[in-house]
Chains A and B, each alone.
Chain A
Amino acid sequence: MQIIQTDVVIIGGGGAGLRAAIAAAEADPECRIALLSKVYPMRSHTVAAEGGAAAVTLPEDSLEQHFQDTVAGSDWLADQDVVDYFVSHAYQELVQLERWGCPWSRKADGTVQVRRFGGMKTERTWFAADKTGFHILHTLFQTSLKYPNIQRFDEFFVLDLLVAEQQVAGVLAMQLSTGELFHIQAKSVVLATGGAGRVFHYNTNGGIVTGDGMALAYRHGVALRDMEFVQYHPTGLPGSGILITEACRGESGVLLNKDGYRYLQDYGLGPETPLGQPENKCMELGPRDKLSQAFWHEQQKGRTGDYQGHAVVYLDLRHLGCDKLNERLPFICDLAKSYVNVDPQHQLIPIRPAVHYTMGGIQTDVQCHTAIQGLYAAGECASVGLHGANRLGSNSLTELLVFGKVAGMEAARHARQSRAVPEAALKAQCQEQLQQLQARFGERQKDTVAGLRREMTMAMEQGCGIYRDAAGMQQCLDTLQALKQRYQQLKVGDRSKVFNYELLQHYELGFGLDVAEAMCASALARRESRGSHQRLDAGMNSRNDSDYLQHSLASYQADGSARISYQQVNITKSAPAARLYGAAQSKEA
């Protein structure tokens, strides 16, 4: 086992991890930063974000309005001090990206262009065509190359956090190209490992989005917060789940059912807006939870179409014309052509909701601190309290930057002030991990990693979908617990050291099972409907503020299902009210 000493370890090389690394490097040029990622940083899933990043930009916009949109979008489950911090630091972070070279789309006068996005009252979404995440990720990655104190460990997979006396002391990681173990000693550790969308079967996420960091923290006693809130993006491609950006609708695309009818007007989002004249917070520019729920209702009513066995509705971009499609949505045109053989200039794109984003995650405060000293989390893996029960599109790319920076600075500050935990305290933990690693190998039996994973993802799809009920969730929870039992017996047949993907996926499945169980247990315990968590059970199909205006906290129990408790939501200035979209919000305004 190799031993490496550093100051700050960052796990994850996506947007949040890279932003944290740069922040730590700038905060303290003496700080040694180890950036670990299970893939090369530019493969991280930030790369697939398309639509844009939100920040108050136009003179007619205000921080207050971005705050209100985010809080209402969250169904009042966002922590309002966090939202305040976020909206007031958003603009400077997008400017920082611009100063680092991000190729933001521009207006004719050379200023930054903003576009409409769902649930946002005013145009405030910065974009780089329809590959915003790609450009943010590559800008951050390339910028990170400037800093000699950032040392990358590409294709390193973290097996465990090393923790002694409630203080983090580093990580135990495996170099995938050699199978060699590395004990990386550090004073601060930042988790920036992304979401867990791959615990569902149909999702927009890359194969790497397996919830690793959430499970690492969870097993060390850090609560996973608000895990029942899983975002279904309304427009994924059928079958693959490939993301078709909300920017399509921001640019005036409309949704049609199989009869060519703009069905969103039947679900509190109308009246129908004229083609080519989208209105903020109306119809197709409603929030994601409501749009995905509308699809479910259309499906119940038999008004969805069929694409190779998948129920679908249709995204119509034809009226945008060739030039606008090429300028604003070139990637979407390419994806539609390649993966469903549709030319959006002339044909409708079949789409359906697919799991997209994990609103919940590792519980942190507004400074990205977790319950373990020296351990921080940022980005999709974290629950800093920004998204509540439903995230607004284009808030998460900005979140990576705003809170990635906070986490990096806090980690560097903490590393300066604290002393390393004595190595002896960690030896036993390393030994135990080594034994657990060895125990994974053995003769393959009937169960396989791929087989168990499929059972897990199908169970989550069936039990924790857009609409949920107690019986379905209980069945899902039972299935997950049975899968966890079988997982204990599941062996890795491949004993090779170099790029042993069977072993890697075995670890990922274990992480995923824990995260999935936290999601399902949290969902079962929340006996109300709020944001993306919608229940069909009698008496639970509306919001219940008197009992559930609270964050859920799932705590790991080694021998049983997650224990669920609750935490007060921080409400500073916006009292819970009805969420209004379509005509209702226009009247209000």
Chain B
Amino acid sequence: MEKTLSIVRYNPELDSQPHSQSYQVPVDNSTSVLDALLYIQEQLDPTLAFRWSCRMAICGSCSVMVNGIPKLGCKTFLRDYGDEVLLEPLAHFATEKDLVPDINVFLQHLQQVKPYLINPEQSEQPHKQSPQQLAKYRKFANCINCGLCYSACPQFGLNPEFLGPAALTLAQRYNLDSRDQGKAERMPELNGKNGVWGCTFVGFCSDVCPKHLDPAAAVNQGKVASATDFVISMFKP
């Protein structure tokens, strides 16, 4: 059978604004949105621009809005949709071309939270870390940086300076790691005006996360840490 994909296209060299273009694609029970996009690019229109690579939901490239909801193209199947499907570039990011968003702001936010282990000890042996200690942060270490949560986040939509779900989750991932000593270095950024308190706990970020790692929970754990940090700082000279 066939379905109609309506794709919002934009070429900054030619178009003053985005416009929609429709394509008929053959689908079966296993056809993903990415499969359909590849079909269009290979068979119908080589000018269609979109990112992709692993096609197994781990590289985080092929994020796209499907009927208004942020999705990974490779893990979204057309069998679950009607005869017409609308594809748009990720919301809340500027669009570079067609379905390619400019995600540099997201990468800057990642960098801002110091997402690496901070621990000055040197050793030629591994740390010990119990499965329980690992379990505390492991879920939050599964973020594939696909950016869906930024498209779902109304706060990021209003204020692109807001660090946003994935960056705050990553900060929490390191803060919760028993091997890390960098929490104090991260807290100013998390406490700042674009940190955890920007989140109004809508929770849509967790709904759209393709890895189910619950960024809303991470952000709100961060609020507790931030509040604790504030109380402690009041009593410290």
Contact = CB atoms under 8 A, between A and B. Distances in A.
Nearest to B103: A40
A449 B46 contact: yes
Contact of B116 (A104, A145, A154): A145
Given A101-B177, A206-B59, A498 B42 contact: no
Contacts of A272: none
Interface string A105-134: 111111110000000000000000001001
A205 to B, nearest CB: 9
Interface stretch (B16-24, B141-149, B155-163, B199-207): B141-149
A29 to B, nearest CB: 17
A318 B133 CA distance: 29
A255 B204 CA distance: 41
A59 to B, nearest CB: 14
Interface stretch (A42-50, A71-79, A366-374, A577-585): A42-50
Contacts of A109: 128, 130
A191 to B, nearest CB: 19
B123 interface: yes
Contacts of A146: 116
B60 interface: yes
B127 interface: yes
A48 B59 contact: yes
A112 B59 contact: no
Interface stretch (A92-100, A262-270, A513-521): A92-100
B73 to A, nearest CB: 12
A585 B230 CA distance: 64
A496 B126 contact: no
B53 interface: yes
A338 interface: yes
A98 B58 contact: no
B126 A99 contact: yes
Contacts of A339: 30, 56
A287 B229 CA distance: 53
Q: Is the interface of A mostly helix, strand, loop or mixed?
A: loop
B129 A106 contact: yes
B2 interface: no
Interface string A151-190: 0001000000000000000000000010000000000000
B11 A101 contact: no
B144 to A, nearest CB: 7
A99 B145 CA distance: 22
Interface stretch (A211-219, A239-247, A351-359): A239-247
A142 interface: yes
On chain A, which size bracket covers the interface? Answer: 35 or more
A105 B131 CA distance: 7
A249 interface: no
A242 B134 contact: no
B55 interface: yes
A108 B130 contact: yes
Given A48-B56, A95-B124, A101-B174, A502 B47 contact: yes
Contact of B115 (A108, A145, A450): A145
Interface in A436-473: 444, 448-450
A242 B126 contact: no
B153 interface: no
Nearest to A493: B46
B126 A501 contact: no
A337 B52 CA distance: 21
A494 B49 CA distance: 11
A397 to B, nearest CB: 15
Nearest to B174: A101
Contact of B13 (A240, A448, A496): A496
B14 A42 contact: no
A111 B133 CA distance: 12
Contact of B53 (A107, A207, A242): A207
B174 to A, nearest CB: 7
A335 B211 CA distance: 12
Which of A42, A108, A500 has the most chain B CB atoms closer than 10 A to its own CB?
Answer: A42
Contacts of A206: 53-55, 59
A98 B102 CA distance: 32
A92 B125 CA distance: 8
A208 interface: yes
Interface in A496-526: 496-502
Contacts of A42: 59-60, 144-145
B61 A39 contact: yes
By CB atoms of chain B within 10 A, which of A92, A104, A106 has the most? A106
Interface in B90-140: 96-98, 100, 102-103, 107, 110-111, 114-117, 119, 123-131, 133-134, 137-138
A498 B131 contact: no
Contact of B134 (A44, A103, A496, A500): A103
B46 A110 contact: no
Contact of A100 (B13, B47, B117, B133): B117
A360 B61 CA distance: 28
18 contacts: A39-B61, A40-B103, A40-B145, A42-B59, A45-B59, A95-B124, A101-B177, A101-B179, A109-B130, A142-B110, A154-B107, A208-B53, A240-B56, A242-B56, A496-B47, A498-B97, A499-B98, A501-B46
Given A43-B51, A502-B46, 20 more contacts: A39-B61, A43-B59, A45-B53, A47-B54, A101-B174, A103-B141, A105-B134, A108-B131, A110-B130, A145-B116, A177-B96, A206-B53, A207-B55, A243-B56, A308-B30, A450-B46, A494-B47, A496-B97, A499-B49, A499-B96
Listed from nearest, the 7 A-B pairs whose CB atoms lie closest are A110-B128, A101-B117, A450-B42, A206-B53, A98-B126, A206-B54, A502-B46
Interface of A: 39-40, 42-45, 47-48, 92, 95, 98-101, 103-112, 131, 134-135, 138, 142-143, 145-146, 154, 177, 206-208, 239-240, 242-243, 308, 331, 334-335, 338-339, 444, 448-450, 493-494, 496-502
